[in-house]
């Protein structure tokens, strides 16, 4: 097994799987899957321990990747796939709790998956070392979103908290101690602007990624025409 504190030299392919940020990623996957089994009947266990743990661990994988120089393509994909599976799985369950809004849930899942997949793919084929490193001239809002770690964390955290609050609101159990103040309701109110901003970023991200792919396609086609 690879060292947990430093990168071995030379690095073997299997060593990558034991890097600290990737071990954290596996923990996220495990707690997320466990939350599926408690989500229907045990909201306190789900959001107090399992799903919330999966979300909170997301704040640490990047930190340890940078600290121990263990940033990898596998880790980046693992992180993004887990993020997408986490959010979309919760939205799927929200469609069970709030079936009248099923079209909205379908749109949100589709936008989330499409924007992130096309974005990552466009960054890979354009030669970027990371989906978070955007070229000059990219939409300023998207650059702010991806290149300011604090801003990125807050937006993602509050976006996720919006969905969590909707989940807790259904069970009517999340009240300020000794009062009738429904904390879930107020969390929804507070997080809604950030949630909306995140959806706007997803749209911008999708459009930007499509433009990158179109530019690459045009460049390739023009090069082939010159060659002929």
Please identify which of the residues 58, 79, 83, 112 carries the catalytic annotation: 83
Give yes or no: 83 in active site.
yes
3-class DSSP state of 175: strand
How far apart, in whole angstroms, are the C-alpha atoms of residue 27 and residue 10? 26
Residue listed under structure tokens 């993020």: 83
- Whether the ω angle into residue 10 lies within 30 degrees of 0, i.e. cis, is yes
Cβ atoms within 10 Å, residue 123: 21
DSSP characters over 99-168: GGGHHHHHHHHHHHHHHHHHHHHHHHHTT-S-TT-PPTTS-HHHHHHHH-HHHHHHHHHHHHHHHHHHHH
If you ran DSSP here, which 8-state letter would residue 87 be given? Answer: H
SS3 content of the chain, % helix, strand, coil (to 5): 75, 0, 20
Q: Which residues are catalytically annotated?
A: 83
């Amino acid at each position: 097994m690879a060292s947990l504190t430093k990168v071995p030299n030379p690095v073997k392919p299997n060593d990558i799987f034991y890097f600290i940020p990737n071990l954290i990623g596996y923990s996220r996957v495990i707690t997320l899957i466990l939350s599926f089994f408690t989500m229907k009947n045990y909201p306190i266990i789900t959001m107090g321990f399992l799903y919330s743990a999966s979300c909170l661990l997301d704040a640490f994988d990047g930190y340890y990747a940078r600290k121990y120089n263990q940033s990898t393509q596998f880790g980046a994909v693992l992180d993004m796939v887990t993020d997408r599976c986490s959010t979309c799985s919760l939205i799927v369950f929200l469609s069970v709790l709030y079936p009248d809004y099923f079209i909205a849930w379908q749109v949100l899942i589709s936008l989330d998956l499409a924007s992130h997949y096309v974005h990552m793919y466009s960054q890979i084929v354009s030669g970027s070392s990371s989906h978070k490193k955007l070229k000059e001239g990219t939409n300023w809002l998207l650059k702010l979103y991806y290149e300011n770690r604090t801003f990125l964390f807050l937006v993602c955290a509050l976006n996720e908290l919006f969905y969590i609050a909707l989940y807790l609101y259904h069970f009517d159990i999340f009240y300020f101690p000794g009062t009738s103040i429904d904390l879930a309701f107020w969390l929804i109110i507070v997080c809604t602007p950030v949630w909306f901003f995140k959806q706007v970023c997803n749209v911008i991200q999708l459009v930007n990624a499509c433009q990158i792919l179109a530019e690459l396609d045009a460049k390739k086609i023009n090069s082939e025409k010159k060659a002929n």
